[in-house]
């Protein structure tokens, strides 16, 4: 469960970087390059989180990998269908959603997929 500790560190770093970058952006800067760098700063811990997850999956046994694969497939397909479908609804007047909605949706569907897999293979 070492990966859980690393994941927690990554999430804490993400929140800290997000808060810091937003505060610095709120103060304002004249440099377009600096605004871009500050806006993208939270991506650094995000990359770390992705590496931790991938390494954790590499260390899993075959059944756990299969469960994760199926959960990720559900998350990928479900996110694609839901966001694509909502795009049509935007065309008939529903409010536009931010791209920030996509990752939480995918993560939620991944968790659902893992729970389904644990019931199925448990």
Q: What is the pTM of this model?
A: 0.79
- For the residues of 81-101, what is the DSSP string, one character each? HHHHHHHHHHTTTPPPPPGGG
| Residue boundaries of the structural domains of the chain | 1-59, 61-122
Residue 24 reports pLDDT greater than 90: yes
100-105 — which CB contacts under 8 Å span 24+ positions?
105/78, 105/79
Question: So what's the pLDDT on residue 4?
Answer: 87
Two tokens at 32? Answer: 């377009």
85-103, pLDDT tens digit by residue? 999 999 999 999 999 899 9
Which helix or strand (DSSP H or E) is residue 28 part of? Answer: none
Question: So what's the pLDDT on residue 23?
Answer: 96
Averaged pLDDT score across all residues of the chain: 94
């Amino acid at each position: 469960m070492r990966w859980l500790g690393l994941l927690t560190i990554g999430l804490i770093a993400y929140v800290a970087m997000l808060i810091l970058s937003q505060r610095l952006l709120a103060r304002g800067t004249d440099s377009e390059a600096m605004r871009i760098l500050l806006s993208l700063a939270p991506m650094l811990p995000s990359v770390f989180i992705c590496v931790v997850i991938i390494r954790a999956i590499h260390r899993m046994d075959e059944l756990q990998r299969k469960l994760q694969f199926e959960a990720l497939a559900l998350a990928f397909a479900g996110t694609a269908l839901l966001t694509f479908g909502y795009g049509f609804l935007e065309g008939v007047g529903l409010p536009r959603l931010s791209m920030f909605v996509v990752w939480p949706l995918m993560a939620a569907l991944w968790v659902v997929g893992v729970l389904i897999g644990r019931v199925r293979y448990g």
